[in-house]
Amino acid sequence: MGFLEKKTKPVIGLDISSTSVKLLELSRQGERYRVESYAVRALPPNAVSEKNIADVEVVADVVKKVVQQAKCKTQNAAVAVAGSAVITKLIEMPGGLSDDAMESQISLEADQYIPYPLEEVAIDFEVQGPSPRNPDQVEVLLAACRRENVDLRTEVLEQAGLTPKVVDVEAYTMERAFSLVARQLEDDSDQVVAIVDIGATMTTLSVLLEGKTIYTREQLFGGKQLTEEIQRRYGLSAEEAGLAKKQGGLPDDYETDVLLQFKESVVQQVTRSLQFFFSSSQYNDVDHIVLAGGVAAMEGLADLIEEKLGTQTSIANPFASMSVSPRVNAVALASDAPSLMIATGLAMRSFDD
């Protein structure tokens, strides 16, 4: 039972995405966090496809290298599964039950909430608090994930010489990391905030109200489309195109004909994602947009989204108020900050009360 371990020792956060492995290790003194180690390493093409691990050995090898590069202090690790791989349901249960009694009852009743054979799923639950409808009941968040998704991630960690301690859900790691970003917003009380996480192949919209996730949706779109357009237009390999995208040196028409078109596509994707949210909820606006993921730091993108949508837009930086260990490359960390939200949320599991 369970793929989230509640109490844990310090863990490294490992975000295994479609194109890279990102590692982060945090420590904390009082309320202040410090980045102890961090590293990012690219994955070979197709090792992970749409957040599903396709080649355990290849991914484990990259994880091993990223751990060596970061020189971590612990071998305990936390990873996450994509939100689309998880079914969540809010249920009500008697308030006086112990965790063990609650676990037994959920095991007996789980088949009425989950549309998969129970032997194929890993199940976990977390008490959210008293039920607003019945004072004798508590609200319990039930989460179920296909066991294969959990097993593949734990297998990768074990092959890389790590001890899997936590398998989390990306949406909740994003929520946890957002608690650090929320402090940077002008007025973070009662706000509806949209976090748009634009990765290499996937864009995930998470909408938070008062810091809690109320909506999440994934769609296929990401920075890889810009890389592919650079390849096609300028006759470069995928590796050359990826480097040129970061380092520059492309022909003069790149800015106007390729980059600007991609930015416009991002604006369209953000608009479309928000429209899906508005059409399925009582909301017709958000107070703030936070851009995360590798594409987020693209020069001028936040300004363009703010201008086109008329909504205040900022770039996620979970490290704004953290100190940084001397052995961490602070310049590289700042550059990668928007793409390290999930890794940050995972590393913060070290400090679960």
User: Looking at this protein, which amino acid is placed at residue 287?
Assistant: D
Global pTM value: 0.89
Distance CA 138, CA 97 (A): 10
Instruction: Give the confidence band of 6 by pLDDT, cuts at 50, 70, 90.
Output: low
Distance CA 91, CA 203 (A): 29
User: Looking at this protein, which amino acid is placed at residue 181?
Assistant: V
Distance CA 190, CA 229 (A): 41
Instruction: Give the confidence band of 4 by pLDDT, cuts at 50, 70, 90.
Output: low
Asked if residues 112 and 144 have their Cβ atoms less than 8 Å apart, the reply is no
Q: How does pLDDT run across 95-130, given as a tens digit for each residue?
A: 888 888 988 888 887 788 787 788 888 888 888 888
Does residue 276 have a pLDDT over 50?
yes
Q: How does pLDDT run across 279-303, given as a tens digit for each residue?
A: 999 999 999 999 999 999 899 999 9
pLDDT at 1: 40
Residue-range domains of the chain with CATH: 1-184+317-353 (3.30.420.40), 187-311 (3.30.420.40)
pLDDT at 3: 56
Helix 260-279 to helix 224-234 angle (10° resolution) is 150
DSSP 69-112: HHT-S--EEEEEE-GGGEEEEEEEEETT--HHHHHHHHHHHGGG
Q: Burial of 157 by CB count in 10 Å (0-12 exposed, 13-18 middle, 19+ buried)?
A: buried
pLDDT at 109: 79
Span 217-224, mean pLDDT?
92
Sheet of 121-130: strands edge to edge?
86-94, 137-146, 121-130
Distance CA 240, CA 80 (A): 30
User: Looking at this protein, which amino acid is placed at residue 324?
Assistant: V
Asked if residues 303 and 342 have their Cβ atoms less than 8 Å apart, the reply is no
Whether the CA torsion 55, 225, 296, 234 is positive or negative: it is positive
Distance CA 152, CA 56 (A): 7
What is residue 30's DSSP assignment? Answer: T
Q: Residue 102 contacts by C-beta under 8 Å, 6 or more apart in sequence?
A: 93, 125, 127, 140
